[in-house]
Chains A and B, each alone.
Chain A
Amino acid sequence: MEVSVENITKTYGFQKAVDGISFKVKAGEIVGFLGPNGAGKTTTMKIITCFMPPNEGDVKVGGISVLSDPEEVKKHIGYLPETNPLYKEMPVIDYLRFVAEIQGVQKEKIRERIVEMIQVCGLKSEKYKKIGELSKGYQQRVGLAQAMIHDPDVLILDEPTSGLDPNQIVEIRELIKKIGREKTVILSSHILAEVEATCDRILIVNEGKLVADGTANTLRKQAQAKEIVKVTIEDGDRNQIFQALQKLETVELVDLLPQYTQSYEVQSKPDASSRRAIFKLCTEKGWTLTEMTPVERKLEEVFRDLTITN
């Protein structure tokens, strides 16, 4: 089921929390929502899940508008809010039954769905305990289980892995990936590595605006117009090599890397590559080129560049 966010704006008082965000997510796609605190991630998710209407714009889930028929939209959405609110005094199994009933799961299927969710989310040993007695990680699993109990077409997860231990994080990521093959998944996170590992596509929001949209690789490339390579050249005088490298036509800047005395970081001019030239230079001068690796910018740096405005 396709989720299409069309130019939504949301204002709290005078502050614009979301300012004209538009994007589309297709079925079978996992989209990661990134952004610093207060960027508008949670607000956007609250609008998609019909918690509150946008001031302007519209969101369509499978072609149905959240403004005209929120009741129908809600049937297709599974939502895990950021704070993972739960009825603490209810036992896990009763709570899942309540959510299944209210989501309109057919009576004869409820039992089967609960058993499946308990198994998938690893809640077997905790199912009769009251939710308030569970650890944070288990509560997070209950939150995930309730979001998926009606087998929704669209899954909206606001920081799904917060509070989980590393093993659980890996499990939940695998689970999300599995679900994402058929369903539409939108998840938000602060952890960039997680988004990179689970998501097909990344959306970065900052101050209510969408500042980037693409796969992790395209984002990196976009942010990195200049080629940087790390080269290690042996059998030569350091200063000579340094100067020779700097004289190359395509090279803009050469950095000496102090900890590896034979290594240099070579930054090329925009839209140019110096790799061939470096190789030729070495053969001419009889130096031995032992390493030449492109330096990739980390997603963290891309994120910082895009979200730090001043």
Chain B
Amino acid sequence: MKKIWIITKRELRSFFDSLMAYIMIVLFLGFSGFFTWISGSDIFLVNQASLQTFFGIAYWTLFFFIPAITMGLLADERKSGTLELLVTKPVSSWQIIIGKFLAAFLLICISLALTFPYYITVANIGKIDHGAVWMGYLGLLFMSASYISIGLFASSITSNQIVSFLIALFIGIFFHLIFGIASSGSAGWFAGILNYLSISTHFESMARGVIDSKDLFYFLSIIFFGLIGTELSLSKRNLSN
């Protein structure tokens, strides 16, 4: 546990030292703030005291930002050779992976925490469904964790950050969009499976304030498989390096 925290701490600090974290936070707040309050079908247009608009925007911004955060986590260590340094220290590959996962996850938590003023503002304007808001945030966290896990896997199989970014987006787009579209284009049990595989199905039900064990199981399995894949490719290091 202590070792995991040491790795998380270093990773978080390097996010902030490299300005990555600030850029990420500013862009995220900028995008989500602009579309939530100023442009498009913003809160005033919808004329309801709810954060649905914000969740819809965050759903897309996080999808693009998370691969940008995770792309360097392992790919860069592989490229600069520091991976060799790290794995020859008395830490297991699981501790390295969980440590890096947590660092990215904490960065997302910080970004989301900074959107609380939106919540407070809307709650002051009208009657808001507090349950739905908290469930929406929880849904965003679960979704982020899933994409971090996919991004970490993408980062573990290459030493090129751009390739890692693209692989993460490529895998992510299936869960984010393609399964959903494909399910509406097909029928029967197959459509059911595709619908279940689509992140938006689970996210939307959570953002409405409903939580189901099916949704939890879905997110946790994506996280689990992503991390397992990362572990496998990390322990097979002798092939590539």
Q: Is A128 on the interface with B (CB-CB < 8 A)?
A: no
For the residues of B in contact with A, the DSSP-based class is: helix
Name B91's contact: one of A49, A53, A94, A102 (CB within 8 Å).
A102
Q: Which of A49, A51, A90 contacts B14 (CB 8 A)?
A: A90
Contact of B18 among A51, A75, A86, A89 (CB under 8 A): A89
Closest to A43 in B: B238
Closest to A50 in B: B88
CB A273 to nearest CB in B, in angstroms, measures 51
Chain A interface size band reads 20 to 34
* A90-105 vs B, Cβ < 8 Å mask (1 yes, 0 no): 1000100011011110
Number of B residues near A (Cβ < 8 Å) is: 22
Interface membership of A260, Cβ < 8 A: no
Instruction: Determine whether the beta carbon of A71 is less than 8 Å from that of B90.
Output: yes
Q: Do B237 and A88 have beta carbons less than 8 Å apart?
A: no
A258 at interface, CB cutoff 8 A: no
Q: Which of B58-98 contact A (CB under 8 A)?
A: 80-85, 87-92
* Whole-angstrom distance between the Cβ of A162 and the nearest chain B Cβ: 14
Please, what's the 1-or-0 string for B1-44, where 1 marks a CB less than 8 Å from any CB in chain A?
A: 00100110010011001100000000000000000000000000
What is the bound-complex CA distance between A81 and B81, given in angstroms? 9
Closest to B85 in A: A85
Is B90 in contact with A98, judged by CB distance below 8 angstroms? Answer: no
**Is there contact, CB below 8 Å, between A51 and B87?**
yes
Q: Does A74 contact B (CB under 8 A)?
A: yes
Residues of A near B10 (CB, < 8 A) are: 87, 90, 98
Q: Say whether A74 contacts B82, CB under 8 Å.
A: no
Which residues on the A side are within 8 Å of B91 (C-beta)? 102
User: What is the CB-to-nearest-CB distance from B113 to chain A, in angstroms, rounded to a whole number?
Assistant: 25
A77, CB-defined interface residue at 8 Å: yes
Name the residue of chain A whose CB is nearest to the CB of B80: A85
CB distance from B48 to the nearest CB of A (A): 45
Q: Does A79 contact B (CB under 8 A)?
A: yes
Tell whether, in the assembled complex, residue A88 and residue B80 are in contact, meaning their CB atoms are under 8 Å apart: yes
A218 within 8 A of B: no
Question: A52 to B240, alpha carbons, bound, how many Å?
Answer: 11
Cβ of B235 to closest chain A Cβ, rounded Å: 9
A104–B90 CB distance below 8 A: yes
A83 on the B face (CB < 8 A): yes
| Residues in chain B near residue A88, CB distance under 8 A | 80
A11 (CB) vs chain B CBs: closest residue: B238
Residue of B nearest to A47 (CB): B238
CB-based contact A102/B7 at 8 Å: yes
| A89 proximity list for chain B (CB < 8 A) | 14, 17-18
Cα distance A12–B89 when bound, in Å? 24
Give the residues in chain B near A146, CB-CB below 8 Å. 85
Q: How far is the CA of A86 from the CA of B238 in the complex (A)?
A: 20
Chain A minimum-CB-distance residue to B86 = A102
Nearest B residue to A55 via CB reads: B238
Residues of B within 8 A of A104 (CB): 90
A49 to B90 alpha-carbon distance, docked (Å)? 10
Report which residue of A71, A85, A103 has the largest number of chain B beta carbons within 10 angstroms of its beta carbon. Answer: A85
Within 8 A of A (CB), among B89-109: 89-92
Instruction: Give which listed residue, A52, A90, A103, contacts B89 with CB less than 8 A.
Output: A103
B82 and A101: CB pair below 8 A? no
**CB <8 Å contact, A71 and B87:** no
Q: Across the interface, which residues of A come within 8 angstroms of B89, CB to CB?
A: 74, 99, 102-103
Name the B residues within 8 Å of A52 (CB-CB): 237-238
CB distance from A248 to the nearest CB of B (A): 59
Q: What chain B residues lie within 8 Å of A79 (beta carbons)?
A: 85, 88
Please give the distance in Å from A150's CB to the nearest CB on chain B: 9
Select which of B3, B85, B92 is within 8 A of A81 by beta carbon: B85
Q: How far is the CB of A281 from the nearest CB of chain B, in Å?
A: 62
Q: A74-B90, A81-B84, A81-B85 are in contact. Are A101 and B18 (CB under 8 A)?
A: no
In Å, the complex CA distance between A31 and B7 comes to 33
Q: In the complex, what distance in Å separates the CA atom of A88 from the CA atom of B79?
A: 13
B-facing mask of A18-46, CB < 8 A → 1, else 0? 00000000000000000000000000001
Task: Chain A residues near B7: list those with CB within 8 A.
Answer: 102
Collect the chain A residues with CB atoms within 8 Å of residue B6's CB: 98, 101-102
Complex interface residues of chain B between 206 and 228 (CB less than 8 A to chain A): none
What are 11 A-B residue pairs whose CB atoms fall within 8 Å in the complex?
Answer: A50-B87, A51-B87, A51-B238, A74-B88, A74-B90, A81-B88, A85-B82, A86-B85, A89-B14, A102-B7, A103-B90
6 more contacts with CB within 8 A, not counting A79-B88, A85-B83, A85-B84, are A12-B238, A71-B92, A75-B90, A87-B82, A101-B6, A102-B6
